[in-house]
Structure 1
Amino acid sequence: MMRKNYYRKLAVMGGLMIVLLAFQKYTSREKENFPEIRFITENTIPPDLSDFDPNDLDENQWMHLGFSEKQVATILNYKKIVGGKFTSKEQFKKCYAVSPEKFTELENFLILPETGNGEHSGKFKSYEKKEIMVSKKFNPDRLTINDWVNMGFSEKQAEAILKYRNYLGGTFVSKQKFRECFIISSENYIKLEPYLLLPEKTPDSFRNFEKKYGTPSKIQYRSFDPNVLDKDGWKALGFSEKQAQTIVNYRDRNLKGSFTTPEDLQKCFVISSEKFAELRPYIKISPEQNKKHETRQETDFSKTDLNMITFKQLLEFGLDERSAGSILGFRKKLGGFVNKQQILDTYNIDKDIVQKLISTCLLNTSNVPKYSLTDAPEEWLKNHPYFKYSADKIIFYRISNSDDAKIWKLLKLKPEYEMRMKLYVK
């Protein structure tokens, strides 16, 4: 009986072993070779992409890279704004239609230098490092190149901003459109945004126009004689009212009524080199103008002293009679300028032209009269714009005080007034 139970147990164990071996064989067989699963997502680059020059791509090729139709239009517009050609990966990356993720995908395939060393990249090499200063609200549609330069942009950057404005049809339209100007970094836009006199959003009328006709095109130029254009004629060529008036004044006052060569236009500071290049093929000067034009002697303003400049020379530079008179009148009252900022502080002047003037001319202060508080003539104190309101006190305090330092303490002036007066104290 015991032997029978033993064989029964042995059979059960053998059966279990056979089941285990069969299970092991089943689980250890080779897995089926499934193909690798790939998820297709929007805006991914094609798998067969090879090295390419982004300057050679057309609309369809950009869309093949995963960009939408709107993004492609933005990229091509951006390429026009930077001069018609991408000069570096760094420049291409700044196009806002190219996201950081997309740029990372494309970077290794771009046939471009990392940073630009050419003509265009040099123009914008360090613009983000410049400090932009603005203190009051302004309409960017009315700013000239000099206005942007005074704000802290370089001249080349200012030209690019105006080129973008002209590309939009002569107006930035809204803060949204202004922000799309690639030369204005996010950091600088944040500084400028509170001061912009523009609508927050692009009007529907403009969006509908873009949708139907595309972005407004540049001005359609026709042949013109610059000697017969009035202010409205210059405005039709894309200049603001203020710029147009400056050009007319420059022609009528500086050039005695006529441009003799196309290059004469380039000398007018409100006409940028870029704008002149656009106008140049259409300028047709009548030969009669050259016959009528008298030979003129032009002042070399780079060698002209602002403390010696004459009324006639100020008109020759482009200032109107009111501005020229104000500058000379203020200079006479001061006895001479000791720094160029004083000229900009003069009332009733065209600050754009004066900024150009002080950037061009010299300033010699060696002949400007200066006195100590104790020996300044009474008449001088009472007539000088900086001293006349404190003249009586100075005359009284110096009776018993022969030390300028003590008189300054007794006057108790505001720091800015004292600093201004000390310009004329030896």
Structure 2
Amino acid sequence: MKEDWKEYVSFTRKERNGVIVLLVLIVLLSVLPYFIPAPDVVVDEATTKEWRSKLAAWKNGKKGQANQVKERNEEVVAAETRSDSGSYAARATEDHIGLFPFDPNHLTESGWKRLGIPDKVIRTIFNYINKGGQFRKPEDIARIYGMRTPDVKRLMPWVKIAEKSGFTEKSRKMDRNATGTFTRPTVADSGNFTRVTLSPVRRKKYIHIDINTADTSAWMNFPGIGSRLAFRIVQYREKLGGFHSPDQVGETWALPDSTFQKIRPWLQCNTGVFRKLSINTAGIEELKQHPYLRWQLANAIVQYRQQHGPFRSAADLQQIILITPLLITRIAPYIEY
């Protein structure tokens, strides 16, 4: 043991010589800069002044270009303003622009021209109205593409939007009458007035189904359930061994809770569980197939049964740490002792 320890801390003669040479080289390289004089740096004052003057000229040129761009932009804005004012003045003289109260939902093309609106904007307004658009408040005219801000400010005080005849937005909604049936408003024109009557709305009725005997077609009659969801519900029922409560349908994978709440009143459980597990004879593979018992729980049940004997009641299951009281309540209808 002592000889092995010496092998790790001892050096041969060649290794010692190599270490000495390496240390000498490190010392020489560390001291060498102090003995080598630094080269003299000659600064050419003329060259330095020339570069400084070029840099100053370049900066001044940049500032000059920026000022020129700014001046050109100001000139363009001023020219556009003059052209807008000139065109507005021309329109005022040609079309006899005037201000008067108007409803933008019913104003004619000539009326818009009298208000001084260009033809292109007028076409945009009529396209908007023809497609079902409406002006509900004076500020809506500002949403028209091409409408200038000065025109909006000039016309807004004169906008008078007529109130809609007939029923209001609230009356459009379905109302419940005294008998509890839903009604929807219908409009009938008669002469110069509009009559609003209420007609009953027929609600689709569904039939009650037995959740343990219903097939996929029966499930597909409910709203929000297609062929895939119907198949998953039936498949989940087969894995459980049957439903013992309608609430178990809501445990189906990918079934939205909103859809389940809609169909819940139509679900009945007239027949009980049709397949049970023999907890004292079933193996791990059979137990883990049940949705409430995975491999870990199935293995714990089999191991406990081998060590302590067969289960006699639910109290024996409580001795297994992994099985909670809630789980015992859920699996109780599917277990026989």
Higher-Rg structure is: 2
TM-score (norm 1): 0.30
